[in-house]
């Protein structure tokens, strides 16, 4: 049976992890490669690296990081952040990334999704969507949720699927950082209306939140950062609980 995926997300700046990462057993908490290897060993199903650097060296630094991760880690990983062209994607895939995630660049130029999926295949193109509710309507936002667009989440998600995205990473800005649980009503609606996998993001605080997003939100995967980085939730115990609750997971 296809299992539900648990995906730690690492924020990267200039080749290093940002946000405090509280791993006592790490020699270097800022080293994304070492952190990735630990997550792979403890049962993460996939990893996401989100690059937030804004330097001119960005491309080269990220390509090097991808290469180092691919050399050491034996599970799949996705790279996102600032990707806006076929060349950007080509460099990352050639260095060993399995998938790339695009966000703002897809909103600005939706045709990029078609271009990338026809050149590299849908399976390696994830479209990330950040959205929050305004007057009870889910509106797509850019720049980490700061800038609203005219797009409705569900309409945009359907367009993204039609254009060839392989999966959607949906972050609810209303839930992100709250540790109050995922946006399961919106997630269930996405999962119901679309035929590609949906990754839930934003709001993870407890093990029960993961159970809920798989059972009530029909999510195919759940992504989180701080609860894993600060060891509030360990992946082995999370997966045992999910299995007890009847959620199929790889243990």
The residues assigned a catalytic role are 11, 130
Smallest Cα–Cα separation from 220: which of 145, 154, 167, 162? 167
Largest CA distance in the chain: 48
Q: Is 130 or 220 the residue whose CB approaches other proteins more closely?
A: 220
Please, what is the minimum distance in Å from the beta carbon of residue 94 to other proteins?
A: 6
Of residues 29, 60, 33, the one with CA closest to residue 49: 33
Nearest-Å Rg of the Cα atoms of the chain is: 17
- Nearer residue to other proteins within complex by CB, 7 or 183: 7
Query: What is the nearest approach in angstroms of other proteins to the Cβ of residue 19?
Result: 26
Q: Judged by CB, which is closer to other proteins: 1, or 143?
A: 1
Instruction: Give the DSSP letter of residue 21.
Output: -
Q: Which is nearer to other proteins, 147 or 162 (CB)?
A: 162
Contact residues: other proteins, CB under 8 A: 1-5, 40, 45-46, 67, 70-72, 74-76, 93-98, 118-124, 166-167, 195-197, 220-221, 250
Which residues are 80's β-sheet partners? 50, 101
User: Are 102 and 84 within 8 A, CB to CB?
Assistant: yes
Minimum distance between the CB of residue 147 and other proteins, rounded to whole angstroms? 30
Map residue 85 onto helix, strand or coil. Answer: coil
DSSP 96: T
CB of residue 114 to other proteins, shortest distance in Å:
12
What is the closest distance, in whole angstroms, from the C-beta atom of residue 231 to other proteins in the complex?
22
Q: Where are the alpha helices (DSSP H) in 52-183?
A: 58-72, 86-94, 104-108, 111-120, 153-162
Query: Tokens 């539900």, residue?
Result: 4
How far apart are alpha carbons 95 and 4 in whole angstroms?
27
Task: Rank residues 71 and 147 by Cβ distance to other proteins and give the closer one.
Answer: 71
């Amino acid at each position: 049976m296809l299992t539900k995926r648990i995906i730690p997300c690492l924020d990267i700046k200039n080749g290093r992890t940002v946000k405090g990462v509280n791993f006592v057993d790490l020699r270097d908490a800022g080293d994304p490669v070492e952190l990735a290897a630990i997550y792979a060993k403890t049962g993460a199903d996939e990893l996401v690296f989100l690059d937030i650097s804004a330097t001119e060296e960005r491309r080269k630094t990220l390509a090097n990081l991808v290469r180092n991760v691919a050399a050491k880690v034996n599970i799949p990983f996705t790279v996102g952040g600032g990707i806006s062209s076929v060349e950007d994607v080509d460099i990352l895939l050639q260095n060993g990334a399995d998938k790339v995630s695009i966000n703002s660049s897809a909103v600005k130029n939706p045709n990029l999704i078609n271009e990338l999926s026809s050149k590299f295949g849908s399976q390696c193109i994830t479209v990330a969507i950040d959205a929050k509710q305004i007057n009870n309507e889910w509106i797509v936002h850019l720049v980490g949720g700061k800038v609203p667009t005219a797009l409705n989440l569900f309409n945009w998600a359907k367009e993204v699927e039609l254009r060839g995205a392989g999966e959607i990473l949906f972050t609810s800005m209303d839930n992100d950082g709250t540790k109050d649980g995922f946006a399961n009503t919106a997630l269930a609606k996405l999962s119901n209306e679309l035929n590609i996998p949906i990754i839930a993001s934003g709001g993870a605080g407890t093990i029960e939140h993961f159970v809920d997003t798989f059972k009530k939100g029909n999510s195919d995967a759940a992504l989180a950062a701080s609860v894993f980085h600060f060891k509030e939730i360990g992946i082995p115990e999370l997966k045992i609980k999910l299995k007890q609750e009847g959620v199929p997971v790889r243990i």
